[in-house]
Structure 1
Amino acid sequence: MPATIANTTLTFLADLTQYNTREWFNEHKKQYEAARKNYISFLDDLLEHMQPFEPIAIGQKGKDLIFRIYRDVRFSNDKRPYKDHFGAYIAEGGRKSINPGYYLHLAGNNNSFVAGGLWFPPSEQLKAVRQEIDYNLDEFKGIVASSDFQAKFGGVSGEQLKTTPKGYDKENPAIEYLRYKSWNAVMPLQDEVVLSNGFMDVVLDAFKSIKPFNEFLMNPLRDLEA
């Protein structure tokens, strides 16, 4: 039977949202460690189930893909010491990769989601992806306007420019996609789904739907590496 997310894991994350202090966290360190272990166990099983359709999962380990719970508050007005969620990124090159990948966000209070795509690529990669969309608009629209993609993710999301990107005309047929600085696919998850025995299948099905999107975004980045 596939790994599942424990109710105590979501409960811990929901409580952490409410009691985000070092004192509370230290008093509940055992609950944190148990929740983190549960999440990593789910990730390890997820990676194994991904391998038949996504080779980048081969050889990766859940513990290497999970982001730290500790927030860097040095330059932030938000001084909460801990993130109120678990997050892990699966991509070619690992958690810190700039490549398109798959993201699993676990949080209490119905704030979990699965996502994929390309997150704020550097300037050279950003320009390459915009060019790829401009040159291959029909292929890109075929992916993001498909009934499956729309049903799961509601289209492309991500931060956009308020103006037209340099080098492109505002009348460009692809302009709605060229304005993005990140190209993301996001599917919200209710707690009851996360805690169900079928959650692994839900995540895998979402990741399979994200794969063509990721591959399109990855193609111009491979050309840059060539």
Structure 2
Amino acid sequence: MNETIPRETFTFLKDLEKNNNRDWFNDNKGFFKEIEKEVKQVYNQLFEMINTHDEVDKVKLFRIYRDVRFSKNKLPYKTHFGGSFHRTKPRLRGGYYLHIQPNNESFIATGFWEPNKEDLMRIRKEFEQDDDEIREIINNKQFKSVWGELIGDEVKTAPRGFDKTHKAIDLIKKKQFIFTKKFTDKEVLLPNFLNDVDKAFKSIKPYFNYMSDVLTTDLNGVSLI
């Protein structure tokens, strides 16, 4: 039987949003710990589900405490749960993310959030050389019905060393390569929520296979690992 997100999760997070201070949180810490334990079980089950069709070596549930040292927002607590799932590197690249937040703000995400400069250059050079294969994957009708459009931060015109009139400049100028899928509160609380999430994650495989191949070979297709 699948674990489910407890309804009390949304109740707690909504109350926390209204009372985002240490006194209130400390008074309700016991309730938080109970919810956190159940939420962890959900993330751990999703970890096991993903591993039936991919190789994920760890799951990380992020702390609810915000790092306010360098932020203008000094509220001490996050008003959501977030957790990531790391594919086994270096052979496999990319990752998965599950975000639980009330008021229909929950979503899943997958792809490449912060590629290092070497990986980013390798991806851009691949798109510069040939963008047919990636477009075939991300424009596939069934794929788009689940994930929609490729999103992510990008430079304004073109990265240094690339032609701003190149036919693949829309891909080349990206700094992130992400797909997201939103869920309503009602959908999150349904018994089949984890199945729906896992099914969506499973459908990203062609994209991950392609990007992993790019990032583990040079421009001539020679393995780097």
Answer whether TM exceeds 0.5 for this pair.
yes
Deviates more, 1:201-210 or 1:187-196: 201-210
> Which amino acid is 1:189 matched to?
F
Report deviation, 1:78: 0.5
> Which amino acid is 2:66 matched to?
R
Report deviation, 1:55: 1.8
| Separation in structure 2 between the aligned mates of residue 210 and residue 22 of structure 1, nearest angstrom | 40
Report deviation, 1:146: 1.3
| Separation in structure 1 between the aligned mates of residue 84 and residue 146 of structure 2, nearest angstrom | 19
Q: Which runs of 4+ in 1 moved over 6 A?
A: none
Report deviation, 1:152: 2.1
| Separation in structure 1 between the aligned mates of residue 140 and residue 10 of structure 2, nearest angstrom | 32
Match of 1:87 in 2: 82
Aligned residue runs from structure 1 range 15-164, under 5 A: 15-57=15-57, 60=58, 62=59, 65-92=60-87, 99-164=93-158
Q: Is the 8 A contact 1:161 1:181 kept in 2?
A: yes
* Structure 2, unaligned runs of 5 or more: 219-223
Report deviation, 1:134: 2.7
Match of 2:165 in 1: 171
Match of 2:13 in 1: 13
Could you say what secondary structure the match of 1:110 adopts?
A: coil
Report deviation, 1:223: 3.2
Report deviation, 1:34: 1.6
Deviates more, 1:109-118 or 1:206-215: 206-215
> Which amino acid is 1:20 matched to?
N
Match of 2:177 in 1: 183
Match of 1:215 in 2: 209
Report deviation, 1:125: 1.2
Report deviation, 1:219: 2.5
Cα displacement string for residues 81-115 of structure 1 (whole angstroms, at most 9, x for unaligned residues)? 11111111111359xxxx41000011111110011
Report deviation, 1:38: 1.4
| Separation in structure 1 between the aligned mates of residue 56 and residue 127 of structure 2, nearest angstrom | 24
Larger radius of gyration: 2
Could you say what secondary structure the match of 2:204 adopts?
A: helix
Cα displacement string for residues 29-57 of structure 1 (whole angstroms, at most 9, x for unaligned residues)? 12211221111101111122222211225
Could you say what secondary structure the match of 2:180 adopts?
A: strand
Q: Is the 8 A contact 2:47 2:56 kept in 1?
A: no
Report deviation, 1:221: 2.7
| Separation in structure 2 between the aligned mates of residue 104 and residue 123 of structure 1, nearest angstrom | 26
| Separation in structure 1 between the aligned mates of residue 86 and residue 129 of structure 2, nearest angstrom | 25
Deviates more, 1:23-32 or 1:190-199: 23-32
Could you say what secondary structure the match of 1:223 adopts?
A: coil
Aligned residue runs from structure 1 range 191-202, under 5 A: 191-202=185-196
TM score, norm. by length of structure 1: 0.89
Could you say what secondary structure the match of 2:199 adopts?
A: helix
TM score, norm. by length of structure 2: 0.90
> Which amino acid is 1:157 matched to?
I
Number of aligned residues? 218
